[in-house]
Structure formats: C-alpha cells, structure tokens
Structure 1
Amino acid sequence: MAGVEASCALIVIGVSGSGKSTVAEALGRRLDWRFEDGDSFHPPSNVAKMSAGHPLTDEDRWPWLNAIADEIARVCKAGEHVIIACSALKHTYRDVLLRGRDDVRFVFLKGTQELIADRLAHRKGHFMPPELLTSQFRTLEPPGASEHVITVSIDESVEAIVEDILQQLKFDGEKHEAMS
C-alpha cells in the first residue's frame, strides 16, 4: 500500500466519541488537507432521529454515505485532498465510501467502550447522546487489512495519535517536517 502521497482522501473512522473529528482536523492541519466532518452530510431527518436517541437504520445511512462518497469522488477528480471524519462502522458502509478506489485510506480510531463512554459523558453540544454508544459498539465491524486501513489506539494525546497515523502512512519525513 502506498503512503499518504498516493491518497486523495483519508477517512477517520470509529464509534461516536472516539475522537474522529478532533484527530481528523489535527491531521488535516499537519498535512495541509481540507477537513470535512461526515456529520455535516447527514440529512436533517437523520440528525433529528439521533437527537431523539434513536439509532439509525441502514436505510437511513445509505443517502448519507453516498453523499460522502460523492464528495470524495469530486475531490479526487479535482486533484485535491480531503480528510473526512465518519463513523463507517460496518464493512458495507466502508465499501460504499470506497467505491472500489485505491486512493482512499481509512484510519480506524480504536478504544475501549469504557474510555469512550467517559469521554462522551464530558462532551457537550453534540447531537449523538451517550446512550447510543452501546448500539454503536454492537454495530461496529472492526476493519481488516484488506480495507485500506491503519489502526491507531486512542489512549494517547491527539498529537501522539497524529504522529502514529503519519508514521503508519509512511509519510515522507522531509515533507512531514515542512508541513508542521
């Protein structure tokens, strides 16, 4: 698998509260790539459903995932780069996002349910209630190596997580320093 230089998109995945947006935004700053929060692609009906404490069904997710995949296709075709934070909990969801591309990589933020529950208990202003964490872990199908994925532990600082990601992506050290 080629390093980050061969990728047009990185998708930071994991359950709610794993730090997807925070890590993806920090990674975007390091690489000088645009950051997009996958939540912004949800139709209003999905946000309302989750805000009411109801988990989404697969039928709810298809339009959302396809909207993200369309944005990835647009960005890659334009020769641009993007980092997107998106839960992408199931293999089928990640297949929709990839659409068979080999220039898109997943970054899986892995953590225990206890650690993430603690983080969610302290998070304010997000539409995803902590009560849905159990359903997210039930739904989660951890990605395998065949899915263009690197896996990082979330029990470090954001800076250390970003460094781990960059090392696993085999990012060229000189460029890496220049973009710091």
Structure 2
Amino acid sequence: MSKTPMRLIVMGVSGCGKSTMAAALGQRLGLQMVDGDDLHLTESVAKMRAGIALEDADRWPWLDRIGHYLAQAEGHGRVVACSALKRVYRDRIRAQAGDVCFVFLDGDFELIDQRMRQRVGHYMQAGLLDSQFRTLEKPQADETDVIRLPITEPVQDMVAQALQALQARLHPAL
C-alpha cells in the first residue's frame, strides 16, 4: 500500500518567513522544497522589481505552475513557499494539486514591514507590502486544510507547532 505524498503550501504576505518555514518543514519531513517566487514568469519578476503590484492575470499561470508542481509530488512529497493571498488563489492551487495543506504565517503589518526593510537582495520591495495586505484574504474556518501560525514565535517553535498540527490532521504516523 503506497502512501500519498504530502503537499504543503507555506503561505502569507511577503516578508512573513514563508521561505524559511518551507525550507525548515521540508528538511524535517523529507519533502522537496521550492520557493514559489522561482516559478514566477520573468515579466512578473520585472514588475515587482519595478515596484508594480501584480494583477490576477499575472498570477494565474504562476498559481497553475505551483499546483502542477505539487500534483507531481513523489516520495514523501513537496512543499512550496507561496503567498496564496486570496481564497480564489488557494482554490486554484487546490484544483491543480489535489489534497494540499496550507500553513498560514499570520503577522501584523508593522512586524513584517520591519523584517522586509532589513532583508537584502530580494526583488519584492517593502513598498509593495501595502498591496499584499490589501489583497490578503485570511483563511476562514471553513478552509479546513489550513494551519494558522503566528509569526511572533521562533522558527523552531513554529515548525514544532506545524508538525503537531499536521500529525493531528493529515498523517497520524508522523
């Protein structure tokens, strides 16, 4: 009997720690990890570098690539760091990927803005954070495939909380 590969999305606004958390979960669970930023079209990256917020038309092919990447998971599975800001974006990923679990990194504007201003070499500018928060539709209670974590905790504590929630919800054998 083969076990279905795990498919995870670590989601939230830019600067909340998605890449760090996805890498940590991938390492702990033996999952292949990709940063969703690496799946953006060149044109979308150029827009963000120029401080221009993406529109839905820019996001659809990106979300499809993320969903397809997850759908092709083998072995233990895959984890993607992806903003997935709107419910319709999450639904689009769900439609492509099948059984997926979202780990929502929840934090306030001031903390994330401070973090973004300290990071170096990322194309997503701190000035676009307003747009990210305006776009964000926090997952609601009926999205039962979402684990919500506050970003005020140390990463190792967030990983432990995510693993505990995953064990309880998805894979009792973890």
Report if TM-score (shorter chain) is over 0.5.
yes
Matched, 1:153 2:150: yes
Question: Given the alignment, which residue of 8, 21, 30 partners 1:10?
Answer: 8
Unaligned runs of 5+ in 1: none
Structure 2 distance, partners of 1:37, 1:145, is 26
**Mapped contact 2:70–2:78 kept (Cα < 8 A):** yes
Alpha carbons of 1:153 and 1:7: their partners in 2 closer, same or farther (altered >3 Å)?
A: farther
What secondary structure sits across from 1:145 in the alignment? Answer: coil
* Paired amino acid for 1:65: L
When the two structures are superposed, what TM-score results if normalisation uses the length of structure 2? 0.91
Cα displacement string for residues 79-112 of structure 1 (whole angstroms, at most 9, x for unaligned residues):
5500100001000100110107652100000001
**Mapped contact 2:167–2:173 kept (Cα < 8 A):** no
Structure 2 distance, partners of 1:173, 1:128, is 35
Alpha carbons of 1:47 and 1:158: their partners in 2 closer, same or farther (altered >3 Å)?
A: same
The equivalent of 1:59 in structure 2 is 57
**Mapped contact 2:102–2:146 kept (Cα < 8 A):** yes
Structure 2 distance, partners of 1:159, 1:31, is 14
When the two structures are superposed, what TM-score results if normalisation uses the length of structure 1? 0.88
Alpha carbons of 1:103 and 1:174: their partners in 2 closer, same or farther (altered >3 Å)?
A: closer
Q: Report matched runs for 1:101-180 at 5 Å.
A: 103-147=99-143, 148-170=145-167
Structure 2 distance, partners of 1:174, 1:102, is 20
Structure 2 distance, partners of 1:61, 1:120, is 22
Structure 2 distance, partners of 1:168, 1:111, is 19
Cα displacement string for residues 51-102 of structure 1 (whole angstroms, at most 9, x for unaligned residues):
0000000001001111111111112xx4550010000100010011010765
* Paired amino acid for 1:109: L
How many residues are aligned here?
170
Question: Given the alignment, which residue of 62, 71, 81 partners 2:77?
Answer: 81
Unaligned runs of 5+ in 2: none
What secondary structure sits across from 1:36 in the alignment? Answer: strand
Cα displacement string for residues 147-170 of structure 1 (whole angstroms, at most 9, x for unaligned residues):
310100000111011001111112
The equivalent of 1:68 in structure 2 is 66
**Mapped contact 1:7–1:105 kept (Cα < 8 A):** no
Matched, 1:99 2:104: no
Percent identity among equivalent residues?
49
**Mapped contact 1:7–1:103 kept (Cα < 8 A):** no
CA RMSD of aligned residues (A): 2.1
